[in-house]
Amino acid sequence: MDHTGTTTPKSLLTPKFLTVVSASLAYFLAVGILVPAVPRYVAGPLGGGDAAVGMVVGAFSVSALALRPWTGRLADRRGRAPLMTAGAGVVALSIAGYAIADTVLMLLGLRLLTGIGEALFWVGAMAAVGDLAPEERRGEAMSWASLALYVGLALGPAAGEALVTHRGYLTTWLVASAVAGSALLLAARVGETRESVAAAVGQPRARLLHPAAVVPAALLLSVVLGMAGVLTFAPLYARDLGLGNSGPLLFGFAGTIVAIRSFGARLPDQLGPSRATVSALAGVTVGLAIIGLWRTAPGLVVGTLVLAVGIALATPSIMALAWQSAPAAERGAATGTVGMAIDLGLGFGPAALGLVASLTSRPGAYLAATLVAAGGLVLALVSSRNRPATPRH
């Protein structure tokens, strides 16, 4: 307390927290560079077809998904720092290995290795964010951490396209590896963030999914599925509606998320995680419904922006819910469980929605995503009855 008797808010933007966020930004920038480069490399120099492109790109998510629960438990037993440094190191080395991959099979194996690094780094970094954030500011902390992801994945693909076009694949792999290496150096400076190594002693039996994070993971999955729909079908649907270039639409989508998570970083904490999650799911549901029902260019634009508002609130609020429900000694396991929803949504969501679109139409795919988001909204409303709803200030 200060001299007036009021409680002084605990600091969030400490040097250690900012270093974790900076490491995350470097890591996601490296991953972003690979987004356009990997498929072009498979289809070009390696001579692979569409099936090969899909397998190589998707291998990253497969190994990350398989290891996510294990890495969560490892973060609780061994600490966050080893996961962050090992994960960034594995990613940097595996990307450097792309330079000698002269067959689709070799690149596929390296992509699986990159996914292992992803599982280690992401869980370690996000668990560290939860450790370093004051309880009443965890939503804000996750807003900043996830902002690093969006900025990295916004800038990385453009850099990757430019590098491949003007410098070639070898330079692209080496630059991406070096950027991941900088994430390793930053992560090594963070040190351990877990309160006590002894806190992890006497944990309950290892489980594939952390019970406290199952509902938050289901909620996030219903959100990520909608985002996958936008990223997969917006460029095609925009042309159907006569918009041509979907660049401005996707820029507005990403820009809205970045703006809300920057200027409204404290909203999840001010509303309270439960209320913010309900609001986020409502925004996602309404946005997807607008796109699916109002089948015009204005409908696509308005729906995408409303959807972006919901998505901007969703990840910080839902992760705060998981951290709120799990003991501190099991925060890594909870983080790993929620992280699986991202892998499932982005890895398998486009395929599922693509099947719906092929059977109905592209707006039909958005309506299918609307039903999933509406189910998440109902689940959020039901689960919120058992959680505190008082806003935090």
pLDDT in tens, 143-195: 788 788 778 877 888 888 889 989 999 999 999 999 999 999 999 998 887 76
What is the rounded average pLDDT for all residues in the chain? 82
The pLDDT value given to residue 212: 76
Q: Is a pLDDT exceeding 50 seen at residue 129?
A: yes
Residue 8 lies in a domain: no
The 3-state DSSP class for residue 361 equals coil
Residue 339 lies in a domain: yes
The pLDDT value given to residue 151: 82
Cβ proximity of 11 and 17 under 8 Å: no
Residues 336 and 225 in one domain: yes
Q: What is the mean pLDDT of residues 76-89?
A: 89
Residues 169 and 274 in one domain: no
Residues 178 and 41 in one domain: yes
| 345/351 Cα distance (integer angstroms) | 10
Residues 86 and 33 in one domain: yes
The pLDDT value given to residue 365: 85
**Could you tell me which residues come within 8 angstroms of residue 230 by beta carbon, excluding any fewer than 6 positions away?**
250, 253, 304, 307
Q: CB-hemisphere CA count at 13 Å for 46?
A: 26
Other Cβ atoms closer than 10 A to 391: 12
The pLDDT value given to residue 197: 43
CA distances from 273 to 15, 74, 77, 389 (A): 26, 26, 27, 8
The pLDDT value given to residue 207: 60
Residues 65 and 157 in one domain: yes
Residue 75 burial (C-beta neighbours within 10 Å; 0-12, 13-18, 19+): buried
The dihedral over CA atoms of 56, 118, 152, 44, expressed in degrees to the nearest 10, equals -20
Q: How confident is the model at residue 19 (pLDDT cuts 50, 70, 90)?
A: very high
Residues 33 and 167 in one domain: yes
CATH at residue 274: 1.20.1250.20
Residue 105 lies in a domain: yes
The pLDDT value given to residue 294: 93
Q: How confident is the model at residue 229 (pLDDT cuts 50, 70, 90)?
A: low
Residues 353 and 238 in one domain: yes
Cβ proximity of 303 and 294 under 8 Å: yes
Q: How confident is the model at residue 198 (pLDDT cuts 50, 70, 90)?
A: very low
Q: Looking at the 3D structure of the chain, how many domains does it have?
A: 2
* Residue located via tokens 């299918």: 368
* Residue located via tokens 């429900």: 325
Query: Which one of 197, 226, 245 terminates a domain?
Result: 197
The 3-state DSSP class for residue 266 equals coil
Residue 393 lies in a domain: no
Residues 218 and 185 in one domain: no
Residues 372 and 266 in one domain: yes
Query: Which one of 197, 224, 242 terminates a domain?
Result: 197
Residue 5 lies in a domain: no
Residues 138 and 38 in one domain: yes
Domain limits for position 363: 211-384
| 319/307 Cα distance (integer angstroms) | 19
Query: Which one of 168, 197, 226 terminates a domain?
Result: 197
Q: Is the pTM of this model over 0.85?
A: no
Residue 217 lies in a domain: yes
Residue 391 lies in a domain: no
**Could you tell me which residues come within 8 angstroms of residue 140 by beta carbon, excluding any fewer than 6 positions away?**
12, 133, 265, 266, 268, 269, 316
Q: Is a pLDDT exceeding 90 seen at residue 347?
A: no
DSSP assignment, residue 279? H
Which residues in 127-166 are b (16+ Cβ under 10 Å) and which e?
bbbbbbbeebbbbbbbbbbbbbbbbbbbebbebbbebbee
| 374/290 Cα distance (integer angstroms) | 13
| 235/242 Cα distance (integer angstroms) | 11
Q: Is a pLDDT exceeding 80 seen at residue 54?
A: no
Residues 228 and 251 in one domain: yes
Residue 156 lies in a domain: yes
Q: Is a pLDDT exceeding 80 seen at residue 128?
A: yes
Residues 119 and 258 in one domain: no
Residue of higher predicted confidence among 150 and 196: 150
The pLDDT value given to residue 360: 86
Q: How confident is the model at residue 3 (pLDDT cuts 50, 70, 90)?
A: very low
Q: What is the mean pLDDT of residues 263-285?
A: 85
DSSP assignment, residue 2? -
Q: What is the mean pLDDT of residues 198-206?
A: 47
Question: What are the pLDDT digits (tens) for 352-377?
Answer: 777 788 788 888 888 998 999 999 99
Q: How confident is the model at residue 231 (pLDDT cuts 50, 70, 90)?
A: low
Cβ proximity of 217 and 344 under 8 Å: no
Residue 196 burial (C-beta neighbours within 10 Å; 0-12, 13-18, 19+): exposed
The pLDDT value given to residue 334: 78
